[in-house]
Amino acid sequence: METKLLHPNDVNVASKLLKQGELVAFPTETVYGLGALATNERAVRKVYQAKGRPSDNPLIVHLASAKEIAKYAQQIPSYFTALADHFWPGPLTVVLPLKDNLFSKSVTGGLATCAFRVPDNQIARDLLSLTGPVVAPSANTSGKPSPTEASHVLDDLAHKIAAVIDGGRTQVGVESTVIDLTDSHQITILRPGGISAKQIQAVTELPVIYDKHLLQADEAPKAPGMKYKHYSPQTKVLMLGLDSDLPEALIAYHDLRLGLLANEQLIQQSQNLVQASYSLGADKNAQSAAHNLFAGLRSLDKENLDLILVETYSGDDSYSQAYMNRLQKAAAYEYFEK
């Protein structure tokens, strides 16, 4: 199958393809999503197949506006309106009990709950207002870094999907924060993203906790997808616990073909000692680092390197946490040790 590269003005073409049961990737503000109509069982199954995704890892249903959620979810808590007013459209996904027999079975992988999100991207919202609810996992091969450009989608899924709408680079760069709203006493963060626990707490006035597996590696995650190996390039990735570890790491691995994924200040310190580098930003800044992480991993993975060294962030802000959650998985939790 030839994968069409569509212009943002072609949302009507994309909508037609989706309604015919085809898969179409589209930009959101976080990463590109791989879309299929949530009501079409065959199309939803094709999503799992194209990505090589395990069938027990449920999908996020994307909606054009917050008011649509009442058609699909039940036991919606009273504070939900405040959450939606503050954060939608935007990088927040909510998990709620699903009404019966609305979506194909494969959407939720057999769970009684469903994840919902209203993305903050005009192309995505124009498309969703034509199609109705669309499932959209990140448009990458399962296990690979999520796509932040149309070319990343084509690298992984060319010939497997009908089309991708090219909306340029995504802004946030890491996937949405996923929260569980099924407990009336507290909100649980299942996956960290661009919106922080503090922001959610300020709006809902409820305790916001992290799913246990995010704090302790041996706990099973409540979001099924979080248990899988993720975000991994082919090349081995090693984290630099401190920026000051860089000179020693460059000496320790001087006989390897090295890549460096870091801010420009650090890249300048490594001149001529690495084969390739990719900038996470002019200065050390977690938001910019999160925006560039996946593109950097994909780019360096094409350089035929032995090892990629990557800078880390220790802040408790949402971008530092989202960045570290993805990076730790890409690095299999390995740090450079002196």
> Residue 214: which of 328, 83, 93 has the closest Cα?
328
Compute the distance between CA of residue 99 and CA of residue 313 in angstroms, rounded to an integer. 40
Q: Least CB distance from residue 137 to ligand TXA, whole Å?
A: 3
- Minimum Å distance from CB 176 to Mg ion? 10
- Give me the residues that bind Mg ion (CB under 5 A), please: 138
Q: Which residues, 6 or more positions from 28, have their beta carbon under 8 angstroms from its beta carbon?
A: 62, 119, 120, 121, 124, 136, 170
Indicate which of Mg ion, ligand TXA, none lies near residue 297 (CB less than 5 to 8 Å, by partner kind): none
Which of Mg ion, ligand TXA, none does residue 191 bind to, with CB < 5 to 8 Å depending on kind?
Answer: ligand TXA
Sites of contact with ligand TXA (CB under 6 A): 28, 30-31, 33, 57-60, 91, 93, 95, 108, 111, 113-115, 117, 119, 136-138, 175-176, 178, 190-191, 222-226
CA distance 64 to 250: 48
Nearer to ligand TXA, 147 or 233 (CB): 147
Minimal distance, residue 139 CB to ligand TXA, in Å: 7
Residue 309 host element (H or E): strand 307-311
Q: How far is the CB of 241 from Mg ion (least distance, A)?
A: 26
Among Mg ion, ligand TXA, none, the one that 31 touches (CB under a kind-dependent 5 to 8 A) is ligand TXA
Distance CA 189, CA 180 (A): 6
What phi and psi, each to the nearest 5 degrees, are found at residue 10? -95, 25
Between 28 and 40, name the residue whose CB sits nearer to ligand TXA: 28
Q: How far is the CB of 207 from Mg ion (least distance, A)?
A: 27
Residue 176: CB minimum distance to ligand TXA, A: 4
Query: 255: which residues sit within 8 A by CB, 6+ positions away?
Result: none
Task: Name which of 48 and 336 has its Cβ closer to ligand TXA.
Answer: 48
What is the C-alpha separation between 243 and 257, in angstroms, rounded?
A: 20
Q: Which is nearer to ligand TXA, 211 or 311 (CB)?
A: 211
Which of the choices Mg ion, ligand TXA, none does residue 3 contact, using the CB cut-off of 5 to 8 A by kind?
Answer: none
Give the CB-nearest residue to ligand TXA.
225
For 103-170, give the DSSP string.
S-GGGTTT-SEEEEE--S-HHHHHHHHHH--EE--BSS-TTSPPPSSHHHHHHHHTTTSSEEE---S-
When CB distances are held under 5 to 8 angstroms depending on the partner's kind, the choice from ligand TXA, Mg ion, none that residue 224 binds is ligand TXA
Name the binder of 136 from Mg ion, ligand TXA, none, CB < 5-8 A by kind: ligand TXA
Element (H, E) at 259: strand 258-262
